[in-house]
Structure 1
Amino acid sequence: MLYVNEQFFDQAYFDAAAREFAALPALADCQNHRYAVCLPATAEWLALFFFLRDAGSSVLPLHPDMPLEAARRLARRAGCHWLFHHGQAPEALSSNMAAVPGGELLQMSSGTTGEPKCIARSWVSIERELDSYVGHFREPESMTAVIACPVTHSYGLIAGLLVALRRGQVPVIIDNLNPKYLLRRLRDIPRPLLYSSPAMLNTLCRLLPAGERLHAVMTSGTVLPGPWFQTLSAGTEHLFQQYGCSEAGCIAINPAVKAATDIGFVLPHLKLTAAPTGEAPAELVFAGEDGVIHTRDLGYRRADGMLVFVARLDDTINVAGLNLYPQEVEDVVMAMAGIRDAVVLRRQDPFAGERACLLFTADVPVSTATLRDWCRARLAAYQIPAEMVQVADIARQANGKISRREVAARFDAGELAPVAGEVA
């Protein structure tokens, strides 16, 4: 049925696990309960997931590294009745939340506000997404899905695992995320299609020996920084990109990525209801059988139907009436030799209303005068950050995204000290 690293788990394994789960008191009448699940063993988690889904129950997957108190807090916020955490006995939680008939996949999403919210999608909705995804995206039908990202997240779980199973394939889940091990494993798999985070994909391409390329990769979660995109394009034979959100799942797929901001063609089960044709961006809004989805993403649709991402609506910085899109500035900064990462933050300004603050990491100390000259040759005056600070590290999330809110909070708290004390 599937591999985890190099171990094969057949249908008999999952059937035996289902019989054991059926005997647990916590899983009696499970279709009327909501379950939070945090299990360290990938195969065990998937066995419980399949059992709960097939029984029409609701399940909240939690990352296997999550400590008990954090898992309990999220489980309660999601209205779960039971918590499975590592090897402990199932814990009953007080909840007045009624289970939805037929069951749901529950996901905790912080979005841009940082306030966790529970997003629920019915299994019927997810089945509709799978049908649309498999019917529309035909290029990987002869490839082997290799899922090197958490299968507790909808990207790895739905787009990676469930899509592969729907295609009748035998997927390979890699939870040993040592890049060298992952490269070795990829070499043993025929025509692998790798699902992973942008950060991991960038690392793998940099480790490739001269002349070697990855067969196929899928990127998702965030638009690739320009330099990462160039590295990935050079290091892969087939580069795919998908775009979506927790509320709707996968929205669009690009089967042949030529530019990082070309996020894909809309899947047929959804309809784009608010996006201009032309290069004046507006919020991307979609409609489907489950309702209207406001993405808070700015973009537009080209005449050929391709969606083009411009910025998060919440990230746009208004500098004296002009819109500054952080991604464009970050790409320019990261194209400078020696710069490893960059993030542009919004700051209030008494004269311009708002201004941009740039935090960046580099291999060696970089003078702000040198960096400002680099930007001046490649950006309009209003796009050049008024403040530039080199820091030791900019933490990215597991999916490769940078939370501007979290980085700004850490910077304001003094947790991101300037390198060599230089601030401009």
Structure 2
Amino acid sequence: MTEKLWLKSYPEEVPTSLDYREIPLQQYLSEMADKTPDNVAIYFMGKEVRFKELQQYAYKFANYLQKLGLQKGDRIAIMLPNTPQAVVSFFGAMYAGCTVVMTNPLYTEREVAYQLKDSGAKLIVTLDILYPRIMKTWKDTDLEHIVVTGLKDFLPFPKNVVYPFMQRKEYGFKVSVEHQGVNHLFTEILRTSPDTAIPIDEAFDFNEDLALLQYTGGTTGFPKGVMLTHRNIVSNVQACAMWTNDYRIPEDEQEPDVVLGVLPFFHVYGMTTVLALSVMMGFKMLLVPKFDATELLKTIDKHKPTLFPGAPTIYIGILNHPDIAKYDLSSIKACISGSAPLPVEVQDQFEEVTGGKLVEGYGLTESSPVTHSNFLWIDRRVKGSIGVPWPDTDAAIMDTTTMTEVAVGEVGELCIKGPQVMKGYWNRTEETAQTLRDGWLLTGDMGYMNEDGYFFVVDRKKDIIIAGGYNIYPREVEEVLYEHEGIQECVVIGVPDPYRGETVKAFIVKKEGAEVSDDELNRYCRKNLASYKVPRIYEFREELPKTAVGKILRRQLVDEEKAKQNDNLA
């Protein structure tokens, strides 16, 4: 490998390598419960859970799992929004030696069944309103137990009394489950199970034991289970803690951070930067079960979070809220944006509104997830760049046909090495071999590195548009569109064209009250882009399809266009 150019950009205060304690993830909860038992670990809709309480709840859950006969390595699915029950189940499963399978509550019956069957999960923790969905699928899986909880279970009085009536009004039904047979009530587990400590397994292997089986989004083919070890997650969280630590202030003068938990825990980014980081570092996490811009602004104004991991669509939603000026957002000191490219315009506006720092980072499920970020506390940020590799992380731009590095400034595939890189894909030896090659993780993202060691992602390998022989990177076109004052969100794809092979189509969501036309955008883009990159087709929509973490589903739009083409041919 050539010289690690990024190391010369590291400030003195930021170490290029870290020492990793080879202990399981759950041990950090035990340490915080001993060190700061009365500090608030979780705030959820008026309910506070302190670190000692959290440990006791997790012990109760772990003891119950062992009573049911679950053993080391058994998979436990958690299908919950961001709630205290999700945190308790996560660490309880770890204490019992099990492997967690985070499952999206928005999944359809088919998607749930696939993930449960592929992972071989023996138990699932889910919401009462999702219970009917599980009952329609569980007999086709390896599930032996279903643990049911409700949002009201951790709500304070009188919210816990009112909630069932609200639930019936919103969903049209109220689920009633008995604590018997394959069904287990979360409240009964916490009421009856002992909170006796569970020691670390003597056979624990920091480098090999799986903490998490995290499924990819499945944008290409079926979702794959990414095997993440305790080493993968602990190393990434330690690096995150170091990177977000404000080293301008002596450590003994710093107050524990308050982390805004709007990123869903069933996404690896939220699991690492909110759930695991908060517990490992003794921070308070403000749990937000779903993104609503108004409620999020109220939470920031009232509870003063300092760390705000997020995604571009979340920041965009806040910036475009009509009443943003009514709320005090000045508590926010640091935000790392991930899951999708961060438009420069969004970064500038958000920093101006909050006074905090918002930087773009980069990661993927296969790397636990973060590998790169811009610096937070020094003026070495490069806008439009994903930043530099984190400590102990190697990165290279490769020609993956020969596995050789390309020259500085040239575009190739971004490849990663580091302690956060996955063990492999669950039960997929061939796909693991294709993705982990010669010790490198092939990301599928095309990018380049500049002479200072900063990396730039130009697009997904499979998203490149080839029009008339020219390579067009959607992100470049999107950056220009985001600078237009009338555009709130946009995404660019390639669509079939009989003359050029492919041509550029842009999907646009206008800002409220904005008047934007095809002709105006065409003139605007021709001033800012080479003619072959200018979109030939514009489609205006009320909203764009997104994942739960707010990432725009580009592939869904591509599939829609293909379906239209097939219909026209038919």
Q: Does 2:374 correspond to 1:254?
A: yes
The residue type equivalent to 1:203 in the other structure is G
Aligned to 1:317: 465
Higher strand share: 1
Q: Is the 8 A contact 2:219 2:555 kept in 1?
A: yes
> Which range moves more in the overlay, 300-309 or 147-156?
300-309
1:131-162 CA distance string (max 9 Å, x none): 33333442286432221121222111111221
Moved more, 209-218 or 195-204: 209-218
Aligned to 1:119, which of 208, 222, 226?
226
Is 2:250 aligned against 1:202? no
Equivalents in 2 of 1:26, 1:414: separation in Å?
A: 54
**Are 1:272 and 2:395 counterparts?**
yes
2:515 maps to 1:345: no
TM superposition shift of 1:308: 1.9
Question: How high is the sequence identity, in percent, across the aligned residues?
Answer: 23
- What's the CA shift string for 1:323-354, capped at 9, x where partnerless? 21111212222333323332221123343333
What is the TM-score with the length of structure 1 in the denominator? 0.86
TM-score (ref. length: structure 2): 0.65
The residue number in structure 2 matching 1:420 is: none
User: Which residue does the alignment assign to 1:222?
Assistant: 340
Pairing 1:371-382 to 2, within 5 Å after superposition? 371-382=521-532
CA distance in 2, matches of 1:181, 1:69: 32
Q: Look up the SS of the partner of 2:462 in the other structure.
A: coil
Q: Secondary structure at the match of 1:139?
A: coil
1:224 corresponds to which letter in structure 2? L
Instruction: Note if 1:240 corresponds to 2:356.
Output: no
- Separation of aligned partners in 1, 2:465 and 2:553: 16
CA apart distance, 1:121: 0.7
1-side partners of 2:397 and 2:82: how far apart?
43
Alignment of 1:407-418 (within 5 A): 407-413=557-563
Write the letter of the residue equivalent to 1:94: D
Task: Report the AA paired with residue 363 of structure 2.
Answer: G
- For residues 188-211 of structure 1, the C-alpha deviation after alignment (integer angstroms, 9 at most, x for no partner) is 335621123321222223342179
In the alignment, residue 3 of structure 1 is paired with which amino acid?
Y
The letter for the 2-side match of 1:315 is D
Structure-2 residue corresponding to 1:282: 412
Tell me the alpha carbon deviations over residues 21-75 of structure 1, each in whole angstroms, 9 at most, x when there is no partner. Answer: 4235784233141122213571112111101123321111112344555323211
Q: Is the 8 A contact 1:198 1:399 kept in 2?
A: no
- 2:409 match: secondary structure: coil
CA distance in 1, matches of 2:392, 2:232: 10
**108, 112, 119: which one aligns with 2:215:** 108
Bigger share in helix: 2
Question: For 1:224, what is the secondary structure of its paired residue?
Answer: coil
Helix, strand or coil at the partner of 2:560: helix
Further displaced range: 111-120 or 192-201:
111-120
The 1:177/1:401 distance shift into structure 2, 3 A limit, reads closer
Q: Is the 8 A contact 1:226 1:260 kept in 2?
A: yes
**Residue number among 65, 76, 86 corresponding to 2:117 in the alignment:** 76
Instruction: Write the distance in 2 (CA, Å) between the matches of 1:277 and 1:137.
Output: 31
Alignment of 1:74-223 (within 5 A): 74-87=115-128, 93-94=141-142, 102-110=209-217, 112-139=219-246, 142=255, 143-175=257-289, 177-190=291-304, 192-207=306-321, 208-209=324-325, 213-214=329-330, 215-216=332-333, 217-223=335-341
Contact 1:18/1:48 (<8 A) preserved:
no
Structure 2 alignment gaps of length 5 or more: 1-40, 144-204, 248-253, 399-405, 422-438, 566-570
Residue 398 of structure 1 deviates from its aligned partner by 2.6
What do the CA deviations read for 1:275-302 (whole angstroms, capped 9, x no partner)? 6564322211011255421111122223
Q: Counterparts of 1:22-41 in structure 2 under 5 Å?
A: 22-24=63-65, 27-39=68-80
Q: How many residues align?
A: 411
Distance of 2:77 and 2:381 partners within structure 1: 40
One-letter identity of the residue aligned with 1:186: I
Q: Work out whether residues 202 and 231 of structure 1, in 8 Å CA contact, stay in contact via their aligned partners in 2.
A: no
1:316, 1:324 within 8 Å by CA — same for their partners in 2? yes
Cα separation, 2, equivalents of 1:166 and 1:173: 16
Give the residue type in structure 1 aligned to 2:535: P
Preserved CA contact (<8 Å) 1:56 1:103: no
Structure 1 residues 12-21 or 351-360, which shifts more?
12-21
Q: Tell whether the 8 Å contact from 2:61 to 2:92 is kept in structure 1 after alignment.
A: no
Where relative contact order (Cα < 8 A, 6+ residues apart) is larger, the structure is: 2
